[in-house]
Structure 1
Amino acid sequence: MATQSTKLAVLIDADNAQPAVVEGLLAEIAKYGTATVKRIYGDWTGPQLKGWKEALLTHAIQPIQQFRYTTGKNATDSALIIDAMDLLYSGRLGGFCIVSSDSDFTRLAARVREAGLVVYGFGEKKTPAPFVSACDKFIYTEILVAKDDEAVSPAPPSGAQLKQDTRLMNLLRNAVEAASDDSGWAFLGAIGNVIAKQAPEFDSRNYGYQKLSELVAASGLFEIEKRKTGDGSTTSIYVRRLAKRSRRGG
């Protein structure tokens, strides 16, 4: 996976992304690397992209003009894909951030990953599953906008509510089992890596929790242990399945 020193290209499909996400989007991208290329594609001669213009100036995003040559055809997709391939072959980048809710970028994401580069996808929850699955990690943009109004955010679901989500529970259980040592303990970072490989769209924030450790604790399925590492100045979190209680009286 990429690191914070990784050079990333941020390519935004203006027709399928909202300007309200741009601040949270760039803050999220900064966790994964440095946005050395920031481009947004659309037809800037029309009024439909007016809301983007202020955001472009504020965040130094380069607008790429793409005229609508034919009604009903999205020329923006083609322009973004061509630029992405040019950037890929330049050999200057370590990864791509593709911002769109359009499944047309599924093959692009797969091709970039085939070349050994990391792909982060950003789109709304309506984004088709093939594009989501084609990315190394996919972040739903709804959680990026929600950050601006935390005061009215609903309380996160309880453990009982989380347990009703069978897919989530199985995902957590399987990840802990896959990452665990002989004693059953698993490093939280390793758990996160296993989950990312199985479900690119997974993010604890989708369930109302800012951190994976908080979501794991809230599920009520696991024992959590904090261990000092190195010189004792840092702490690592380890997780283990709770032992099943015996039904016999003690």
Structure 2
Amino acid sequence: MASENTNRLAVLIDADNAQPAIAEGLLAEVAKYGTAHVKRAYGDWTSTNLKGWKDHLLAQSIQPIQQFGYTTGKNATDSAMIIDAMDLLYTSKLDGFVIVSSDSDFTRLASRIRESGLTVYGFGQRKTPKPFVAACDKFIYTENLKEVTEDAPVAKTRTAANQLKGDSKLMNLLRNAVEAASDDSGWARLDTVGSIITKQRPDFDSRSYGFNKLGELFSATTLFDLESRSPGDGKPPVTHVRDIRHRAEK
């Protein structure tokens, strides 16, 4: 939606904990939720471990923030990110934060930012601890970003219909969200259904099942009807979804 793109976001990257290959896909994903007014990557840039990040910093206009590892075994980068995030929270007019890390140390930071009424988008690997995932409004696994960036053929990774239907947790999630958003006829706006799913599971992503869009996932299960409706007045069509069990209730 156009209104979403007006959101001012701060993108804070734990370069010690994130792969440089995600940079392009990361910022493309961030653009769906708003404009990155702040883009910073934290780490010890004198270390050869971060060599792969340098070209991406220039190409994506990301500001490197130097943080020396003063003490062995202590993560100074995390502390620097948290301090900067709190400074930005109080001094900048932002609508949300993007925290890029798979580290559970940012769990309390995410919770604190949300307590102030701002939105938190987390990006990390599938190994990211669940408490950090749950502390974000929306969490995107960076493995999904790599698939897009590296042009991997999505069709080969799609989960088959029988596997989708056999995933009881997934089916309950989809059906409950449709039911919660549906009208008396059983139809619900797909975008509303998506919002409900995200609130229940911040890390839910149709790309994890091999589908670029939520509607494609619903269709692949063969257990839902989808319908595109034109609201008129030149507005774009709106997709609606319904559990096929409502057919029998007619």
Q: TM-score, normalised by structure 1?
A: 0.94
Q: CA RMSD in A?
A: 1.6
Q: Report the counterpart of residue 204 of structure 1 in structure 2.
A: 206
Aligned equivalents of 1:76 and 1:84: distance in 2? 12
Deviation at 1:20, TM superposition (A): 0.2
Q: Is residue 157–residue 209 contact of structure 2 (8 Å, CA) maintained in 1? A: no
Deviations 1:11-41 (A, max 9, x none): 0001110000000000000111110100011
Deviations 1:136-181 (A, max 9, x none): 0000001111113335442411211111222111110100010011
SS of residue matched to 1:40: strand
Q: Report the counterpart of residue 108 of structure 1 in structure 2.
A: 109
Q: Report the counterpart of residue 171 of structure 1 in structure 2.
A: 173
Tell which deviates more after alignment, 92-101 or 222-231.
222-231
Deviations 1:168-217 (A, max 9, x none): 11110100010011121111111001001000001111110011111001
Q: Report the counterpart of residue 143 of structure 1 in structure 2.
A: 144
Task: Kindly report structure 1 stretches of 4+ aligned residues shifted beyond 4 Å.
Answer: none
2:194 paired residue among 192, 195, 213: 192
Aligned equivalents of 1:192 and 1:70: distance in 2? 44
Deviation at 1:231, TM superposition (A): 2.5
Aligned equivalents of 1:39 and 1:245: distance in 2? 51
SS of residue matched to 2:242: strand
Tell which deviates more after alignment, 120-129 or 142-151.
142-151
Tell which deviates more after alignment, 148-157 or 227-236.
148-157
Tell which deviates more after alignment, 102-111 or 219-228.
219-228
Q: Report the counterpart of residue 68 of structure 2 in structure 1.
A: 67
2:107 alignment partner AA: T
2:60 alignment partner AA: H
Aligned equivalents of 2:151 and 2:51: distance in 1? 27
SS of residue matched to 1:45: coil
Q: Report the counterpart of residue 95 of structure 1 in structure 2.
A: 96
1:228 paired residue among 218, 227, 230: 230
Deviation at 1:108, TM superposition (A): 0.3
Q: Report the counterpart of residue 12 of structure 1 in structure 2.
A: 13
Q: Report the counterpart of residue 52 of structure 1 in structure 2.
A: 53
Closer, same or farther: CA 217–108 of 1 in aligned 2, 3 Å: same
Closer, same or farther: CA 49–25 of 1 in aligned 2, 3 Å: same
Equivalent pairs, count? 246
1:99 alignment partner AA: V
Q: Is residue 186–residue 246 contact of structure 2 (8 Å, CA) maintained in 1? A: no
SS of residue matched to 1:39: strand
Aligned equivalents of 2:159 and 2:209: distance in 1? 7
Deviation at 1:79, TM superposition (A): 0.4
SS of residue matched to 1:234: coil
Closer, same or farther: CA 239–44 of 1 in aligned 2, 3 Å: same
